[in-house]
Amino acid sequence: MKIYKILLAIGGVIALAGCKKENLITYSSPDGKDNIYLGTAVTDTTAFTYTFAYSPAQLRDTVWVKVTTSGERVHQPRNFILAADPKKTTAVSALHYEALKASYTMPADSGIVHVPVILLNTDTALQNKTVKITLVVSGGAGFSTNLPIEVRSKQITFSNRLEKPVWWNYWGQLGNYSRVKHQLFLISSGTRDLVELNGAVDPNYFLHIPRCLYYINNVHEFLQDPFTWIQQNPSAGYKLTKRSDNTGDYDLYNVNAPDKKYWLKYFASVNKLIFIDENGNQIII
């Protein structure tokens, strides 16, 4: 047994001696510089969609774009360029997004950096249209630009308008969909979404009904008397201002976004104020 153990140990030593460290193969550009791209894979460069509609008082927001090196990390910072492709960009710099810097820095000893792209919510036209920025990363002074454009590009699509949620039709109390009605729902309901009534997915869906009806009733009370709602929710930052055209109509707006107004029309025949949507229809829940 002792001899067996000795032979086993000798065999292990021989096996270890025959092993050697395998060097990792990395991509090397003709100029000796590493490359740079967006995300961690091709799928990360698909279009990203954003809307300000869920936060109507928010005038700006940040989308963080992940930039990654293809190569080894080094002990000094390196500069690269992230720019908008004018042929594939409809957003206007300084109007829809803050101007990008002339160059950005990959920190020393790092292979990833997140670049902030500041989207702006100051153009009222974004309530009716969508714009896009197609970003392209290139080598600049510190990297090469030899990788395909597909992995060096990312498209950001954004607007300030809403789309009909899949759960809307489940709740007959909400009536026909409109973007203004949806926005007023977000302002006053206390929630962003209502649960989908799909028993196949959640057999206990009915347990959510009282909570959802509470949210819908909040919207109803707001539409009936927005003045009281404003008094009860001062931190929301909304105001009602009477128009100066002798119609008796009002405009609802947030103090942080005064250019985005919601029309509260006065109907003398019933002595009542009713919100009007983008299609000219009365908003009633």
Q: Which domains does the chain have, with CATH numbers?
A: 35-159 (2.60.40.1740), 168-275 (no CATH)
Which own/partner pairs from 115-119 qualify as long-range (CB within 8 Å, at least 24 positions apart)? 115/64, 115/65, 115/67, 115/82, 116/62, 116/63, 116/64, 116/65, 117/62, 117/63, 117/64, 117/65, 117/156, 118/60, 118/61, 118/62, 119/50, 119/52, 119/60, 119/61, 119/62, 119/63, 119/156, 119/158
Mean pLDDT of 205-217: 89
The predicted-structure confidence for 45-65, as pLDDT tens digits, reads as follows 556 888 898 887 789 999 999
Write the pLDDT tens digit of every residue in 82-91: 999 999 999 9
Asked if residue 42 has pLDDT above 90, the reply is: no
Choose from 14-23, 179-188, 200-209 the range with maximum mean pLDDT.
179-188
Q: Please write the tens of the pLDDT for every residue from 131-155.
A: 999 999 999 999 999 999 999 999 9
**Whole-number Å distance between alpha carbons of 282 and 276:** 5
Measured distance CA(108)–CA(168) in Å, rounded? 50
Confidence of residue 192 (pLDDT cuts 50, 70, 90): confident
Residues 6+ apart with CB under 8 A from 40: 66, 68
Could you report the per-residue pLDDT of 164-183, keeping only the tens digit for each? 887 898 899 999 999 999 99
pLDDT above 80 (res 13): no
Residue type for position 253: Y
Residue in the block written with tokens 């919207």: 219
Round to whole Å and give the CA distance between 31 and 143. 9
Residue type present at position 157 = T
For residue 23, the 8-state DSSP code is P
On whether the CB atoms of residues 156 and 93 are closer than 8 A, the answer is no
Confidence check: pLDDT of 11 > 60: no
The CA–CA distances, whole Å, from 90 to 38, 45, 93 equal: 21, 18, 10
Q: Is the pTM here over 0.75, yes or no?
A: no
Looking at residue 38, the DSSP 8-state letter turns out to be: E
Cα–Cα distance, 21 to 25 (Å, whole number): 13
